[in-house]
Amino acid sequence: MPSNYNDDETDRSPTELAGLSALGVAFVIAGVGLYYGLAIDSMRVFSAAAAAIFVLLATSMVIILQSEPLVSRENAVISGFVFAAMALFFGLSTFTMLPFPVLVGTLIFVGVLLPALVLQYGPSISN
């Protein structure tokens, strides 16, 4: 007789696993949208895909905070920098006339490179 829960070590129901799979597929589609926006040099498509990723990241962080008993330093640093990068990107694209490559470079620098540097060389909070 089938049960409502998966028998592996995650203890997540099939509904939860389906929701997480849908979230993963949504991230892939948004990533394809980012690539497409860059390929056709369309700020509108790129911004829509970036906004979708912002919403998906917020959803992912809610799931992590609900399922993880303790938020790790890596999760906190990465999520903080990614949200800051997205806000900076939307602010710069709305209120300035910076060229598209500069906006994308800022997004990558603040959202990818800075968290990596902070995690690699920043102070550790462990005892």
Cα distance from N-terminal residue to C-terminal residue, the chain: 49
What's the pLDDT tens digit per position in 36-68?
998 998 888 988 998 898 889 888 878 877 777
Model confidence band, residue 8 (pLDDT cutoffs 50, 70, 90) = low
Residue 41 class from Cβ within 10 Å (0-12 exposed, 13-18 middle, 19+ buried)? exposed
pTM across the whole model: 0.60
Give the torsion sign (CA, 53, 54, 55, 57): positive
Q: Where do the domains of the chain lie?
A: 14-121
- Average pLDDT over all residues of the chain: 83
Please state, in angstroms and as integers, the Cα–Cα distance from residue 98 to each residue in 91, 95, 107, following that order.
Answer: 11, 9, 13
Contact assessment for residue 106 and residue 88, using Cβ atoms and an 8 Å cutoff: yes
pLDDT exceeds cutoff 90 at 19:
no
Take residue 61 and report the two structure tokens written for it.
């962080």
Indicate the length of the chain as a whole number.
127
Model confidence band, residue 86 (pLDDT cutoffs 50, 70, 90) = confident
Contact assessment for residue 78 and residue 115, using Cβ atoms and an 8 Å cutoff: yes
